[in-house]
Structure 1
Amino acid sequence: MEATLHIGRKISKIRELRGMKQETLATELGISQQAVSKIEQSAALEDEVLEKVAKILGVTSAAIKSFSDEGVINYFNTFNDNSFNNGAYNAFSCNFNPIEKWMQVIEENKTLYNEKIALLERLLQAEKEKNEVLKGK
């Protein structure tokens, strides 16, 4: 029964899950924030309006109609399943400090830069010595 009840609340929850504010949705729809608020308070919507809202939210109108809190909870609970404790799932966990890595890269770049400068100075000195030898002949 939940699948057909109060489409506005479902739009509101999907919008919030997407991290979108009413103002953003309003701008995308070309309406006021108050009009979005009214849509989210509506138990039913015209299919044309629902299609526009769905497109902006990045879902289908069918997804909005069938949205349920239980479905979201079940979806996220699948990630607590032990079958995800190995393999590619662990690739998403960050086990280092990105700022420390960035500073390490900066230090490595400084070292390479200093080595380049030292090499160029040696080459310049070798050219000067070569010119001195050629002048002396």
Structure 2
Amino acid sequence: MGDAALHIGRKISRIRELRGMKQESLAAELGISQQAVSKIEQSADVEDAALEKIAKVLGVSVEAIKNYSDEAVIYNIQNNYEGSNNHGSNVGHQFNFSPIEKIVQLYDEKIALLERLLQSEKEKVEALKNNRIH
């Protein structure tokens, strides 16, 4: 594969970043320290047992991690977006998820959450105003 191939730790790191997950969160989910996650992400090799747990937390298959490459992601994005009409739907899907769709989904969830928080703050403010008046 040559030097261009990402080692397995780097792949885990990239997928974790695409998931919008911090090392701390991954560590907490796995029940290990953040340093341990950092060490894993610097490793060229990761034991299958550990890899299975990590894959589960990241919501991908072990194969998706092993087959991960930046090219695959870019290829995926281009096919999903530029060519969504003229390509077969399974072109470039070495993945169980499209990173961009996931990012958009996470972003939308974050916005929705912020809007709910804002709404509840507004309601608190209104309640306070009303209490002061009466």
Q: What TM-score range do you get, normalising by the shorter chain?
A: 0.5 to 0.7
1:33 corresponds to = 34
Partners of 2:5 and 2:78 in 1: how far apart? 24
Distance in 1 of aligned mates of 2:23 and 2:77 = 25
CA–CA distance in structure 2, aligned partners of residues 32 and 82 of structure 1: 41
Aligned equivalents of 1:83, 1:64: Cα separation in 2: 28
For these two proteins, the number of residue pairs brought into alignment is 84
The structure with the largest alpha-carbon Rg is: 1
Tell me how far apart the structure 2 counterparts of residues 64 and 73 of structure 1 sit (CA, whole Å).
Answer: 15
Q: Which runs of 5+ in 2 are unaligned?
A: 87-134
Moved over 3 A (4+): 2-5
RMSD of Structure 2 on Structure 1 (CA): 2.0
For residues 38-63 of structure 1, what are the alpha-carbon distances to aligned partners after superposition, in whole Å with 9 as ceiling and x for unaligned?
00000001100000000000001111
How much does 1:5 deviate? 4.9
How far apart, in 2, do the equivalents of 1:4 and 1:70 lie? 10
SS of 1:83's equivalent in the other structure is: coil
Other-structure match for 2:46: 45
Name the residue aligned to 1:80. Answer: 82
User: Equivalent pairs: percent with the same residue?
Assistant: 67
Higher helix share: 1
TM-score normalised by length of structure 1: 0.57
Over residues 37-91 of structure 1, what are the superposed CA-to-partner deviations in whole Å (9 max), with x where a residue is unaligned?
A: 000000001100000000000001111001010000000001112728xxxxxxx
Are 2:59 and 1:58 equivalent residues in the alignment?
Answer: yes
Aligned to 2:8: 7
